[in-house]
Amino acid sequence: MEKFGTGAAQAIWKWWNDFWERNVRDKGFVGMLAGIFPFIITIIGVIITGIIDIFVEFFDWFGGLFNSKDDDRARDTINSRSCAQLNALSNDQLISMINSMLSGPTGDDDENAMLKLFKCLPCERLHGIVNSVGLELIQDNFQGSEFDELQLILGNCSIISFSSWDDDATRLFVSRMNCGQINALSDSIIRDLINNMLSGFTGDDDENAILKLLGCLSCARKQTVVNLVGLGNLQSAIDGSEFDELQVMLGVCGIINFSSWDDDASRLFVGKINCAQINALSDSVIRDLINNMLSGFTGDDDENAILKLLGCLSCARKQTVVNLVGLGNLQSALDGSQFDDLQVMLGICGIINFSSWDDDATRVFVNHASCAQINALTAQNLHQLFRNLIEGSCGDDDENAINKIMQCTDCAKIHAVLAMSGTHWDDFDDAIQGSEWTAFKSIMNSRCGITG
């Protein structure tokens, strides 16, 4: 007899039959008295467990309407077999298993079993099976990450085109590709992949996937793909740091002009290149980069990038670029320590006179210069440096800079400086005080025998 529900009611009734046979049926009145209480218990137990069994049977039947045993068997078959064993099955067997899992609600376990099967099949065979089952039926029953995996499998076998992918499937595909594989794709496929991620809202993950695709291509192929996608479509959809990366990428390849960059993209570019690469740029390109960072508010990061550009150039090229940008534009935009660094840089190259330096710029120069560089200056230049440090309030840092110059300069130049107006012994005596004055006199006496 087939079990009904949990089988509990049947088991209780069977126990009563056995008890009746042994203890009641042939025992007369005594047997009947002995069986009354067990009989009552049996009736109550059968009623309660019978109700439970009815519910179990109902829910088994109700669940069976939505989940056949066939899909369980299909999943078990696929999950327990290797790719070689699955490929050994006939198309009819595979189609039957797929249809079993597609009938009724299709859960993640069904989707993952089908994905395993699809990955095991060669493209030609998968194409035939998908046609038999129905592409739309299969796609309609997948969702979430399993749908993205399905799109990849079907796309790689050319069952669907790359242009039919959504952005999730596209990102998944790009994340798994290396540059060698990306370069093996046609320009039109890369266009389709980018357009998939530009469609609708384009998030940071989409933008980074687009940058990965473009970053793997040569400049010539970048130009082709950008033309296919549309430069305006790319630039309008990408923002933030990703936009800066895009601008740099396109600018380096000459797809857009450096003059169209904002300050963020310009800084990013300058931050990534070395002096050799900077020197390979034309004067007009360096001018454009500097102007990008001078446009609007010029912060410390802009100023430091400008100093990096200029610092890599020869004095002759510095002069040319400064003329293109405008000395006044540079000096008015930079301030603080960056202004001092600029003054030193331009002063050393003779683009501005030492007389235009303040004490801060002068100290920066002296502190960074070697004794050989200081001693290479003319007596007139040294005189001007001393005047820059002496004028106004002469603090300890100014006094120490004066002593460094004296320590590095040969005696003939020191004598020449002391003979010039504004840098006589008394001028130094008035400006330098305390231990710095003691050090000054010691240097002058020990090196050149000058005592006042």
Residue type, 220: A
DSSP secondary structure letters along 324-355: HH-HHHHHHH--HHHHHHHHHHHHHTTSS-GG
- CA 34/CA 31 separation, integer angstroms: 5
Q: Is the pTM of this model over 0.85?
A: no
User: Distance between alpha carbon 441 and the CA centroid of its chain, in Å?
Assistant: 60
For residues 452 and 450, what is the distance between their CA atoms, to the nearest angstrom?
Answer: 6
The tokens of 253 are what? 């390849």
Sign of CA dihedral 405, 410, 413, 415: positive
DSSP symbol at 199: S
Which of 281, 278, 280, 286 has the alpha carbon at shortest distance from 324?
286
Residues contacting residue 445 through CB under 8 Å, at least 6 positions apart? 451
How far apart CA 382 and CA 367 sit, in angstroms, is: 14
Concatenated DSSP letters of 130-177: HHHH-HHHHHHT--HHHHHHHHHHHHHTTSS-GGG--HHHHHHHHHT-
Gap between the Cα atoms of 424 and 407, Å rounded:
17
Residue pLDDT tens, the chain, 452 long:
444 445 555 555 565 566 556 665 555 555 555 556 666 776 676 577 667 656 555 555 444 444 457 788 999 999 999 999 999 999 999 999 999 999 878 889 999 999 999 999 999 999 999 999 999 899 889 988 898 899 889 988 889 888 888 898 899 889 988 999 899 899 999 999 999 999 988 999 999 999 999 999 999 999 999 999 999 999 999 998 899 899 889 988 889 888 888 899 899 899 988 999 899 899 999 999 999 999 989 999 999 999 999 999 999 999 999 999 999 999 999 999 999 899 889 988 889 888 888 898 899 889 888 899 899 899 999 999 999 999 878 999 999 999 999 999 999 999 999 999 999 999 999 999 999 999 999 999 999 999 87
* Residue 410 CB burial class (10 angstroms; 0-12, 13-18, ≥19): exposed
Instruction: For residue 259, give the DSSP letter.
Output: G
Domains of the chain by residue range: 8-66, 257-352, 367-452
